A = this chain, B = another copy of it.
């Protein structure tokens, strides 16, 4: 059994919930998908492969993943929440290309340390943070330059 599956089952048993084929199927597809997937995308992906799962169940299951610490919800400003596997994944922030919607993950210890410093200076205790850099990636930038010629 995968460690992600074990984590979910542990959460389920600790909260008097039940292991269902839908939950198992959503987990399987979720783990096999691009990071930063939306509920709708996951729903389509499952329906397209013959599943008769409902959209509400997708949302309920993704929320369950978040409650169990397996995933986190992100808002990148396009109006749809995205869900990302965080269990056993090192913390990181995001670069978001506004041309092709590509999401690049990055880590920077120096920035993290400075955030703590800012928090301390303001007597603030940080529980979580969000750092997103919006712009244009190298591929889109090159494409734009080519078009401009």
A residues bordering B, Cβ < 8 Å?
Answer: 75, 77, 95, 97-98, 104, 106, 108, 110-111, 114-115, 118-119, 121-138, 141
Contacts and interface: CB of A to CB of B under 8 A. Distances in A.
A106 B127 contact: no
Contacts of A75: 75, 77
Contacts of A111: 111, 114-115, 118
B126 A129 contact: no
Give this chain's copy count. 2
Given A97-B124, A108-B114, A131 B134 contact: no
A134 to B, nearest CB: 5
Contact of A135 (B108, B121, B126, B132): B126
B123 A141 contact: yes
Given A75-B75, A110-B114, A115-B111, A127 B122 contact: no
A126 B115 contact: no
Nearest to A98: B127
Contacts of A121: 106
Contacts of A132: 129-131
A124 B130 contact: no
Contacts of A137: 122-124
A134 B126 CA distance: 6
A124 B114 contact: no
What 4 pairs across the A-B complex have the smallest Cβ distances?
A123-B138, A126-B135, A127-B135, A130-B132
A120 to B, nearest CB: 11
